[in-house]
């Protein structure tokens, strides 16, 4: 499926996740976040960087992993990415949907 964000034609899944991580950039992240009603702060970028690093190192993402990350606690994670934090955070970070997300 194709989607144009920030003037760039992207390959995405039916749920809107990038299928090619190399297409991701900060402008794309900002537009995806805006569609999710999220205004990105420094803390959001910190979480996004952590998520991308985990995926690069082939670490499976989960809410439990976020809790152990040392980057933020679960309450903060839900506050930053309300209504499905792991789904929204990974979509904005341009990484595949975690297997732990339904």
Please count the residues of the chain: 102
Tell me whether residue 54 is exposed, middle or buried, using C-beta atoms within 10 angstroms of its C-beta: 0 to 12, 13 to 18, 19 or more.
buried
- 78-99 pLDDT, tens digit per residue, is 999 999 899 999 999 999 888 7
**pLDDT given for residue 102 in this prediction:** 65
Query: Can you give the pTM of this predicted structure?
Result: 0.90
- Assess whether 74 carries a catalytic annotation: no
Which candidate in 5, 53, 101, 102 is catalytic?
101
How far apart CA 67 and CA 58 sit, in angstroms, is 18
Task: Answer yes or no: is pLDDT of 12 > 80.
Answer: yes
Average pLDDT over residues 26-34: 94
* Rounded percentage of the chain residues whose pLDDT exceeds 70: 99
Bridge partners, 12 (sequence order): 18
């Amino acid at each position: 499926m194709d989607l144009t964000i920030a003037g760039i034609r992207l390959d995405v899944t039916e749920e809107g996740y990038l299928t090619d991580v190399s297409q991701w950039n900060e402008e794309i992240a900002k537009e995806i976040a805006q569609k999710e009603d999220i205004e990105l702060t420094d803390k959001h970028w910190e979480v996004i960087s952590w998520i991308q690093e985990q995926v690069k190192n082939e670490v499976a993402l989960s809410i439990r992993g976020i809790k152990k990350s040392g980057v933020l606690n679960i309450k903060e994670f839900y506050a930053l990415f309300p209504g499905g934090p792991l789904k929204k955070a990974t979509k904005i970070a341009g990484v595949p949907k975690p297997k732990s997300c339904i």
